[in-house]
Amino acid sequence: MAYRPPAPFSPAMTGSPRDQLRQIADAISRKADATSEPTYTAVLLIAPNGTTYRVAVDDAGALSAAVVPR
């Protein structure tokens, strides 16, 4: 079976940061379920105010977010 990349994901631009992270985590989980190998180690997000965040998941499934200097 040939590898096919998953469909692109566009996170919601509204809602609380917690809701946005939940949507992203759900999308990453769906993508991980669709492939047999890990796909991302982290995701970079830019907030409406221009701050960049690195969102990652640890082995226990906990999400973490850290500001990325620009």
Within a 10 A sphere around the Cβ of 43, how many other Cβ atoms? Answer: 19
Does 45 map to a domain? Answer: yes
- Quote the pLDDT of residue 39: 64
Does 7 map to a domain? Answer: no
Does 30 map to a domain? Answer: yes
pLDDT digits (tens, 9 = 90+) for 42-62: 888 899 999 999 998 888 888
Lowest mean pLDDT among 15-19, 28-32, 49-53, 66-70: 28-32
Does 37 map to a domain? Answer: yes
What is the domain extent for residue 23?
Answer: 17-68
Does 9 map to a domain? Answer: no
- Quote the pLDDT of residue 52: 93
Mean predicted confidence (pLDDT) in 11-26: 78
Q: Output the CA–CA distances (angstroms, integers) from residue 33 to 16, 29, 37, 68, in the order listed.
A: 26, 6, 9, 28
Does 1 map to a domain? Answer: no
Domain count, the chain: 1
This prediction has a pTM of 0.45
